[in-house]
Amino acid sequence: MAAAPVSPVPVAPAGLTDRAKRFVACEGIRVPQQDIEHYRDAWIEHGVPAAEIDRAAAFQDRWGGLALPPAPFYESGPRVLGADVPEGSATEGWWIPAGDCRYSMAYGFVIGPGGEFGIDGYHWAPLHASTDGWVESLALANHARRWATTITRITGEAVDSLDLEGYEPVPEVQGVTDSWWRGEDSLIALYRGVAVGMDAPGCLEAHIYGGLDEWGLHGG
């Protein structure tokens, strides 16, 4: 019996904020994904531990086939979220490809040994503690861009001079290398991943979304 066609309208996974659920459902598209289980035996023969294949399959079940709008940094982010064969070793840990890049780039998007979502260039740079955090960050950027009256982009050394006094970290983005900060009437997104992963301090970047009211600061 042929498999049922995949609906292009995605259903947001449980555990996201209402804002992120709306973002996934309204802005995302679901496309067919590969079944990781078809490759299990072949990957095990090539030395991939079963536990890592389980991790890849769990990622695929939750996020595989989800195409989201371009990210405001990282060359727009993955084209479509999707797992592939884990790479690594018992001593270094294992990383799972998280989706193909939209352009030819010097780094790729991967899931780290602890489930972190990040980039792998010259170095591993975990951006968020999970893929949920990455999607929450995309949703917040989409929301803030829509409601802000001003958007300011800061690059390079000036990013380290930003005064975050009076701001609080936005917990749902699960920031590691990257982070979001919420103030009285503005949101600040700090993008440090390329600077860390590519040894490129000049690639530090911050986006300041100003003139936000209560809805603009939170949005669900």
Using 50, 70 and 90 to split pLDDT, how confident is the model at 1?
very low
Residue in the structure block whose two tokens are 């983005």: 173
Cβ count near 169 (within 10 Å): 13
Q: Is the pLDDT of residue 71 over 50?
A: yes
Residue in the structure block whose two tokens are 């531990």: 49
Q: Is the pLDDT of residue 98 over 60?
A: yes
Tell me the whole-structure pTM to 2 decimals: 0.95
DSSP state of 129: S
pLDDT digits (tens, 9 = 90+) for 111-124: 999 999 999 999 99
pLDDT digits (tens, 9 = 90+) for 15-70: 999 999 999 999 999 999 889 999 999 999 999 999 999 999 999 999 999 999 99
Beta strands 108-111 and 117-120, pairing class: antiparallel
What is the end-to-end Cα distance of the chain in Å, rounded? 42
- Strands of the chain, DSSP E: 29-30, 66-67, 87-89, 93-99, 108-111, 117-120, 124-128, 150-155, 168-169, 179-182, 187-191, 205-210
Per-domain residue ranges of the chain: 18-135, 147-218
Region 70-93: mean pLDDT is 95
- The predicted pLDDT at position 2 comes to 43
Region 124-149: mean pLDDT is 98
Cβ count near 10 (within 10 Å): 20
Region 132-144: mean pLDDT is 98
Run of H or E residues at 216: helix 214-218
Q: Is the pLDDT of residue 91 over 60?
A: yes
CA dihedral 116, 117, 119, 124 (to 10 degrees): 0
- The predicted pLDDT at position 4 comes to 54
Helices (H), 113-156: 131-147
CA–CA dist 139, 24 (Å, integer): 8
CA–CA dist 220, 206 (Å, integer): 23
pLDDT digits (tens, 9 = 90+) for 166-211: 999 999 999 999 999 999 999 999 999 999 999 999 999 999 999 9
Which of these, 23, 19, 130, 3, lies nearest to 11 by C-alpha position?
23
Q: Which residues contact 95 (CB under 8 A, 6 or more apart)?
A: 86, 87, 88, 110, 111, 112, 113, 120, 124
Q: Is the pLDDT of residue 135 over 70?
A: yes
CA atoms within a 13 Å half-sphere pointing along the CA-CB vector of 68: 27
- The predicted pLDDT at position 17 comes to 97
